[in-house]
Amino acid sequence: MPDHPGQRPAEAVSGPTLHAVERGSGPRLVLLHGVAGSHMVWDEISPELEPHFTLTSVDLLGYGHSPKPRTTYTPAAHVETIRRTLQKAGIEPPHVFVGLSMGSNLMLEFARRWPAEVSGLIGIGFPYYSSEPEARKALAHNMWIRLTLRHPIVAAIVTPVTWGIGRHVAGLFGGNSALYSRPVAADALRARYGAFKSSLFNCMVHFRQDDVLEASAGVRRLFIHGNDDQWAASEVIEARLAGYPRTAVHVIDGPHNLVVAQPKLTAQLITEHVGAR
């Protein structure tokens, strides 16, 4: 059950906290990466935002340099750890969250649980799916996700070994500007495969967003989406978010990962929406 506004459960003050990187100055944005990433996914867009905002980018639980417990990586587990991290760092709410892909789902879940602690939401590449079959079909565009969804036994053997090699062999993955640069790809491979798989199923494949969209309808929201996003068609996103008076949708040229493919334009839209200092 969601917490009441202002309620501070025991989980919020005990348990693991996340690795976070802070840069820039001005009003704070809390950056949440996607299902296959780390805080470094924001490296291309950060220089465009740093003159206007303080950026707090985290490695989600199970990812990057953050703790990797053997647990079920549910939306609740993720957002409780995000909240605990912000509290222990002395970062006072209300927060403005920027979520990339799965990070969009997590920011919406955070706002559903603690609405008084959120003042703004910005989703990039929002992976909205009305059903599990729809999610499975769209998510299969990513090779690691496709392998995990279609061949779970093979994926459980091959993926951890391949990722382990990729962390140490320069250039094995990455180099595609529409995805991750080589350094970002190597850092993304720090994720524990169990965390990746569990987050994939609990926070994307099985996660229906209608309730969290309704719950945060009163928050000022911006969704930036690529017209060539194969994870979720821009027409679907525009249709689903139409009718929310406090929600803006901008469709721009680009694929799913706009923070890498379109950093300048994405940063400009964020800055115009939030308001530079």
pTM for this entry: 0.90
Q: pLDDT tens, 15-63?
A: 899 999 999 999 999 999 999 889 999 999 999 999 999 999 999 999 9
pLDDT, average across residues 147-176: 72
Question: Tokens 């209300």 map to which residue?
Answer: 94
Among the four given CATH numbers 3.30.450.20, 3.40.50.2300, 3.40.50.720, 3.40.50.1820, the one describing domain 10-274: 3.40.50.1820
**More confidently predicted of 25 and 144:** 25
End-to-end Cα separation, the chain, in angstroms: 37
Question: What is the pLDDT, as a whole number, of residue 164?
Answer: 74
Question: What is the pLDDT, as a whole number, of residue 175?
Answer: 47
Instruction: Judge contact between 206 and 132, C-beta under 8 A.
Output: yes
Q: Which of 54-63, 135-144, 177-186 has the lowest mean pLDDT?
A: 177-186
Question: What is the pLDDT, as a whole number, of residue 98?
Answer: 98
**Whole-angstrom Cα distance, residue 114 to residue 94?**
10
**More confidently predicted of 190 and 42:** 42
Question: What is the pLDDT, as a whole number, of residue 201?
Answer: 96
Question: Tokens 């465009």 map to which residue?
Answer: 48
Question: What is the pLDDT, as a whole number, of residue 132?
Answer: 96
Report how far Cα 143 is from the mean position of its chain's Cα atoms.
19
> Helix, strand, coil: what percent of the chain each, to 5?
45, 15, 40
pLDDT-derived band at 275, boundaries 50, 70, 90? confident
Residues ≥6 apart with Cβ < 8 Å to 241: 213, 223, 247, 249
pLDDT-derived band at 84, boundaries 50, 70, 90? very high
